[in-house]
Amino acid sequence: MEPKIEEKLLLKNIKPTPMRQLVYRMLTQEETALSLSELESKFDKVDKATLYRTLKTFEAHQLIHSIDDGSGSIRYALCDEDCTCRPEQLHLHFVCKICQKTYCLKEKPIPQPDLLDGFTYESANFIVKGVCPSCQK
Protein backbone atom coordinates (compact mmCIF):
# COMPACT_ATOMS: atom_id res chain seq x y z
CA MET A 1 0.00 0.00 0.00
CA GLU A 2 2.91 2.32 0.58
CA PRO A 3 3.95 2.59 -3.06
CA LYS A 4 0.40 3.47 -4.03
CA ILE A 5 0.43 6.80 -2.25
CA GLU A 6 3.63 7.73 -3.99
CA GLU A 7 2.04 6.95 -7.32
CA LYS A 8 -1.05 9.00 -6.60
CA LEU A 9 1.10 12.04 -5.99
CA LEU A 10 3.24 11.43 -9.05
CA LEU A 11 0.12 11.06 -11.15
CA LYS A 12 -0.74 14.66 -10.32
CA ASN A 13 2.86 15.82 -10.79
CA ILE A 14 3.55 16.32 -7.11
CA LYS A 15 6.95 15.34 -5.78
CA PRO A 16 6.16 12.66 -3.18
CA THR A 17 8.09 13.87 -0.18
CA PRO A 18 7.59 12.03 3.13
CA MET A 19 5.64 14.97 4.50
CA ARG A 20 3.30 15.00 1.53
CA GLN A 21 2.75 11.28 1.66
CA LEU A 22 1.90 11.62 5.32
CA VAL A 23 -0.63 14.37 4.67
CA TYR A 24 -2.12 12.51 1.74
CA ARG A 25 -2.59 9.36 3.77
CA MET A 26 -4.26 11.37 6.52
CA LEU A 27 -6.70 12.83 4.02
CA THR A 28 -7.61 9.42 2.63
CA GLN A 29 -8.61 8.30 6.10
CA GLU A 30 -11.21 11.04 6.45
CA GLU A 31 -14.78 10.72 5.37
CA THR A 32 -15.41 14.45 5.75
CA ALA A 33 -13.49 17.56 4.73
CA LEU A 34 -10.85 18.95 7.09
CA SER A 35 -9.60 22.44 7.81
CA LEU A 36 -5.96 23.36 8.18
CA SER A 37 -6.17 23.42 11.95
CA GLU A 38 -8.22 20.24 12.14
CA LEU A 39 -5.61 18.53 10.04
CA GLU A 40 -2.87 20.04 12.17
CA SER A 41 -4.38 18.59 15.32
CA LYS A 42 -4.36 15.11 13.84
CA PHE A 43 -0.59 15.08 13.95
CA ASP A 44 1.52 14.86 17.06
CA LYS A 45 3.70 17.63 15.80
CA VAL A 46 3.63 19.36 12.47
CA ASP A 47 4.38 22.82 11.25
CA LYS A 48 1.31 24.80 10.27
CA ALA A 49 3.09 26.66 7.46
CA THR A 50 4.36 23.46 5.92
CA LEU A 51 0.93 21.94 6.16
CA TYR A 52 -0.53 25.07 4.64
CA ARG A 53 1.87 24.97 1.71
CA THR A 54 1.30 21.27 1.27
CA LEU A 55 -2.42 21.84 0.95
CA LYS A 56 -1.86 24.70 -1.48
CA THR A 57 0.33 22.46 -3.60
CA PHE A 58 -2.23 19.67 -3.51
CA GLU A 59 -4.96 22.07 -4.50
CA ALA A 60 -2.95 23.63 -7.32
CA HIS A 61 -2.40 20.15 -8.72
CA GLN A 62 -6.03 19.18 -8.24
CA LEU A 63 -5.37 16.41 -5.83
CA ILE A 64 -7.70 18.09 -3.35
CA HIS A 65 -10.33 20.81 -3.57
CA SER A 66 -11.12 23.50 -1.06
CA ILE A 67 -14.56 24.13 0.36
CA ASP A 68 -15.70 27.42 1.77
CA ASP A 69 -18.46 26.10 3.97
CA GLY A 70 -19.18 29.25 5.92
CA SER A 71 -17.56 27.96 9.08
CA GLY A 72 -14.86 30.59 8.93
CA SER A 73 -12.18 28.18 7.89
CA ILE A 74 -11.63 26.53 4.54
CA ARG A 75 -11.94 22.76 4.48
CA TYR A 76 -10.20 20.39 2.11
CA ALA A 77 -11.10 17.01 0.66
CA LEU A 78 -9.61 14.68 -1.91
CA CYS A 79 -10.70 15.08 -5.50
CA ASP A 80 -11.84 12.15 -7.55
CA GLU A 81 -9.10 10.50 -9.55
CA ASP A 82 -10.26 12.08 -12.79
CA CYS A 83 -11.33 15.45 -11.39
CA THR A 84 -10.10 18.56 -13.11
CA CYS A 85 -12.22 20.87 -10.97
CA ARG A 86 -14.09 22.22 -13.98
CA PRO A 87 -17.40 24.03 -13.36
CA GLU A 88 -19.37 21.04 -14.65
CA GLN A 89 -17.68 18.73 -12.19
CA LEU A 90 -18.51 20.75 -9.11
CA HIS A 91 -20.67 19.04 -6.51
CA LEU A 92 -22.75 19.99 -3.51
CA HIS A 93 -21.32 20.22 -0.03
CA PHE A 94 -23.29 19.58 3.10
CA VAL A 95 -22.61 21.04 6.54
CA CYS A 96 -24.21 19.41 9.56
CA LYS A 97 -25.53 21.85 12.13
CA ILE A 98 -25.01 19.32 14.91
CA CYS A 99 -21.58 17.78 14.38
CA GLN A 100 -20.28 20.60 12.17
CA LYS A 101 -18.84 18.12 9.71
CA THR A 102 -18.65 18.98 6.04
CA TYR A 103 -19.50 16.27 3.54
CA CYS A 104 -18.69 16.09 -0.14
CA LEU A 105 -21.80 14.98 -2.01
CA LYS A 106 -19.83 13.94 -5.05
CA GLU A 107 -22.80 12.34 -6.75
CA LYS A 108 -24.81 15.54 -6.50
CA PRO A 109 -23.66 18.01 -9.13
CA ILE A 110 -24.29 21.71 -8.69
CA PRO A 111 -27.25 22.66 -10.91
CA GLN A 112 -26.45 25.17 -13.62
CA PRO A 113 -28.04 28.34 -12.26
CA ASP A 114 -30.59 30.30 -14.21
CA LEU A 115 -29.16 33.81 -14.28
CA LEU A 116 -30.36 37.21 -15.36
CA ASP A 117 -29.34 38.69 -18.68
CA GLY A 118 -25.77 39.88 -18.74
CA PHE A 119 -24.49 37.62 -16.00
CA THR A 120 -22.17 34.82 -17.16
CA TYR A 121 -21.59 31.62 -15.27
CA GLU A 122 -18.05 30.45 -14.56
CA SER A 123 -18.24 28.59 -11.28
CA ALA A 124 -20.28 28.21 -8.16
CA ASN A 125 -20.34 27.19 -4.54
CA PHE A 126 -23.45 25.50 -3.23
CA ILE A 127 -23.43 24.75 0.48
CA VAL A 128 -26.39 22.99 2.04
CA LYS A 129 -26.94 23.07 5.78
CA GLY A 130 -28.98 20.63 7.81
CA VAL A 131 -28.55 17.49 9.84
CA CYS A 132 -26.40 14.61 8.63
CA PRO A 133 -27.38 10.92 8.80
CA SER A 134 -25.21 10.20 11.86
CA CYS A 135 -26.81 13.01 13.80
CA GLN A 136 -30.44 12.06 13.08
CA LYS A 137 -31.95 10.54 16.17
* Residue 66 near residue 97 (C-beta atoms within 8 A): no
Neighbours of 51 (CB within 10 A): 19
Find the residue with minimal CB distance to Mn ion: 104
How many angstroms separate the CA atoms of 136 and 31, rounded? Answer: 18
Our finding on whether 52 is near DNA (CB under 7 A) is yes
Q: Which stretch binds Zn ion (CB under 5 A): 38-46, 65-73, 91-99, 120-128?
A: 91-99
Phi and psi (nearest 5°) for 9? -70, -45
What's the min distance (Å) between Cβ of 59 and DNA?
10
Please name every residue paired with 91 in a beta bridge, in sequence order, or none if there are none: 109
Per partner kind, with CB cut-offs from 5 to 8 A, the member of Zn ion, a copy of itself, Mn ion, none near residue 76 is: none
- In the complex, the smallest distance separating the C-beta of residue 133 from Zn ion, rounded to whole angstroms, is 8
Task: Please name which of 107, 98, 85 lies closest in space to residue 132, comparing C-alpha atoms.
Answer: 98
Which parts of 29-117 fold into alpha helices (H)?
36-41, 48-60
Residue 125 contact partner, candidates Zn ion, a copy of itself, DNA, none, CB within 5 to 8 A by sort of partner = a copy of itself
Of residues 22 through 41, those in contact with DNA by CB under 7 A are 35-37
By C-beta, is 96 or 104 nearer to Zn ion? 96
**Contact residues for Zn ion, defined by CB under 5 A:** 96, 98-99, 132, 135
